[in-house]
Amino acid sequence: MPNESETTVSRRDLLSLVGSVAGSAAMYQAMTSLGFASETNYKGPIKLAGDTKGASVLVLGAGLAGMTAALELRAAGYKVQVLEFNTRPGGRNWSLRGGDSFTELGGATQACGFEDGLYLNPGPWRIPYHHRALLDYCKRLGVALEPFIQLNHNALLHASTAFAGKPQRIRDIKTDFQGHVSELLAKTTQQGKLDEAVTVEDKEILLQALRSWGALDKNYAYQANLISAAYRGYAKDPGGGLGAAPVAGEVIKLQDILKSRLWGYLRNFSLHEFQTTMFQPVGGMDMIGKAFAREVGDLIQFDAKVTRIQQSDGGVTVNFVNSKAPSAQQTATADWCVCTIPLSILSQINIQVGPRMKAAIDAVPYSSSVKIGLQFKRRFWEEDESIYGGISYTDLPIRQISYPSSGFNRSGRGVLLGAYVYEGANSYEFTSMAPADRIARAVEFGSRIHPQYRAEFENGIAVAWHRVPFTLGCAGSWTEKARAEHYDNLCQIDGRIVLAGEHASYIPAWQEGAILSSLDAITRLHERVVRR
């Protein structure tokens, strides 16, 4: 067995190396092995055939999982009732607009002051092209979609300790990093270090590929010239008339890129979850929840806070109270129950299930997430910086700034997602603040990237998901160990109760996971009903 330090580079290793720099094959395989990246297994609308025997089903929760169950079960002939904690459908499928208000845990109430037509999606905000189930329901329910811009080469990457704190264009970091790495690989290939692993023909093809991918010159060097400028942009753009010749800009040195760590953000554009094309509903993410509600809204009882879930051989009994006036106890009964209540809430409810399911319910914590929407007097990111959609990334506590993917090139106000803080100390720190302080901090940090913030800011709204009463967190946060021990037990039918939601999927935090989980749960429940 050869010494590891002397092992030659194989064809597979070489392609994996190039792929990892490009952010494709190696990362995709790793994500797939964790159950995050594979294409969803949706095969089209389900068909619940067979005699339902007049059975009734109580659905707990009117998020996408619950409304999917209600829609399909009623179509199959079941008597369906839905209990929902909120005054609206959708659950985490939620958009905030001017005139909306909500009260978070602790009593702080925020009123949204956005101009008419502007909104923030505090929950899900984008739909991958391979989330086939969600896209199919959007088509069936008449939800209009438009592109969501994940990658904008003109957006920014920012590190507080690099480049004197000056944000860099994504295209500059991406192109210069690829160029320098391609030059290094080309030099290695030319020196014959790969002769034992790669044929002469493959070597020539590889050099051509590196020259194309890395914008190298005829000597396989990455330099400031019109070749690299065609990828990274120009110091002086090509124009018309006299003096119209373009001028190439200086490239960023490889060591400066490496030390900045900005290359780490490039993976966000290569991960399968975020690859183009992505979508968003026209007018806000809650257009999906509203479309479902048009079909099943007559089945939903809103303001229903579930307090107890019991079952027997004959059926299920659920106790609930009005979430706004919880004095009078009410009861709902059915033959079966599809429970889509988030585990962070369900773990605090008296539910009569076996010890394995109860242990699974208790085993899954919920991730922390904070989103902050900021309204500005004008769309300065477009007018001043030519940023139309996309996301800028920073090591500041706000982590991300997302620019709207609609309303381009209009005069007047606009709303940015001024912070998306997911997990980690920064998320908990923002959660601990009063809403006004979260907004003020987002403006303070954002002004280091866009100096226009301070003069243009008007108002904002900040949603910290650990303080949202109906979820107490963003999404189920599974570990591999917890999945191995509890996941199958969570998804089993326990007597007359079955659970569904993004937490009961391998696509956590995505609406696709909620829908697929629901379809699986009701299919198995239906099979049991028909067999009885």
Range(s) of the chain covered by CATH 1.20.1440.240: 170-253
> Nearest-CA neighbor of 405 among 282, 286, 288, 275?
282
DSSP run (H or E) holding 101 = strand 101-103
Indicate the CATH number for domain 96-155+277-284+367-467. Answer: 3.90.660.10
* Contact by Cβ (8 Å): 215, 139: no
DSSP run (H or E) holding 185 = helix 170-190
What is the dihedral angle through the alpha carbons of 183, 184, 187, 189, rounded to the nearest 10 degrees? -110
Cα dihedral 429, 434, 435, 436 sign: negative
The Cα–Cα gap between 258 and 489 comes to 45
The Cα–Cα gap between 217 and 201 comes to 20
Cα dihedral 22, 28, 30, 31 sign: positive
* Contact by Cβ (8 Å): 471, 342: yes
Range(s) of the chain covered by CATH 3.50.50.60: 56-90+289-365+477-531
pTM for this one?
0.89
**Architecture of the 56-90+289-365+477-531 domain:** 3-Layer(bba) Sandwich (3.50)
Tokens of 340: 């889509």
- Residues facing residue 169 across a β-bridge: 156
The tens place of each residue's pLDDT in the chain, 532 residues long, gives 333 333 344 444 444 444 444 443 333 333 333 334 446 778 889 999 999 999 999 999 999 999 999 999 999 999 999 999 999 999 999 999 999 999 999 999 999 999 999 999 999 999 999 999 999 999 999 999 999 999 999 999 999 999 999 999 999 999 999 999 999 989 888 887 666 667 888 888 888 989 999 999 999 999 999 999 999 999 998 888 879 899 999 999 999 999 999 999 998 888 889 999 999 999 999 999 999 999 999 999 999 999 999 999 999 999 999 998 888 899 999 999 999 999 999 999 999 999 999 999 999 999 999 999 999 999 999 999 999 999 999 999 999 999 999 999 999 999 999 999 999 999 999 999 999 999 999 999 999 999 999 999 999 999 999 999 999 999 999 999 999 999 999 999 999 999 999 999 999 999 999 999 999 999 999 999 999 8
Indicate the CATH number for domain 170-253. Answer: 1.20.1440.240
- Residues facing residue 350 across a β-bridge: 308
